[in-house]
A and B are shown apart, each in its own frame.
Chain A
Amino acid sequence: GNSVTQMEGPVTLSEEAFLTINCTYTATGYPSLFWYVQYPGEGLQLLLKATKADDKGSNKGFEATYRKETTSFHLEKGSVQVSDSAVYFCALREIGNEKLTFGTGTRLTIIP
């Protein structure tokens, strides 16, 4: 079956540091890949997505590239801010399948 494995947290970084949160997946077909973010007290929100190999999703300075050869979709940001503190979820969804398959989430804390 499908699965998503993402970097265990929590992750603590200083402001302006470089961020990578690793995500790898297992899927039987050709899934769409997503990063969702959950800020304190809020629901999960879509951060970015990519729908086919070599696509790059980007939003709010975050980027992730759909790498079919390594089955990965790592999240990166060049310079994090305190406001990026949140829980980040990697997820996939296959064509014809209703469900999103999530990773465990990575809690990110940015200190000034």
Chain B
Amino acid sequence: EPEVTQTPSHQVTQMGQEVILRCVPISNHLYFYWYRQILGQKVEFLVSFYNNEISEKSEIFDDQFSVERPDGSNFTLKIRSTKLEDSAMYFCASSMTGATNEKLFFGSGTQLSVL
């Protein structure tokens, strides 16, 4: 089965630094997502992206966050100035049509640790 790949698997950064988390969605998918899970808490939606623009975002996704599809294959999440509370597992996902009952394909996640 096709896979979503995420790099790196672990990222350690200092508070205030910028980080970019990278994802390669499945090649013929059109909808892209970022979710995160803080340790011990729920998996939370951050943002969805379609047709080169954000289609929906949560209240978590403030001005410190941005997403980009720079080259038609990668999908990145940038955090401009990391805070301690940004420490979490970040999951990228993609889907073909964005339909409500369609399955999302998730990557294995990037564990971000902000020190």
Interface residue ranges, A against B (CB under 8 Å): 4, 31-32, 34, 36, 41-46, 49, 51, 89, 91, 93-105
Contact = CB atoms under 8 A, between A and B. Distances in A.
A41 B101 contact: no
B100 interface: yes
A98 B56 contact: yes
Interface of B: 3-4, 6, 31, 33, 35, 37, 40-45, 48, 55-56, 58, 91, 93, 98, 100-101, 103-109
Contact of B100 (A36, A46, A97): A97
Given A45-B106, A97-B100, A89 B43 contact: yes
A95 B106 contact: no
Nearest to B31: A98
Contact of A43 (B33, B48, B107): B107
For A4, A101, A102, the residue with the greatest tally of chain B CB atoms inside 10 Å of its CB is: A102
A58 to B, nearest CB: 15
Contact of B58 (A93, A99, A105): A99
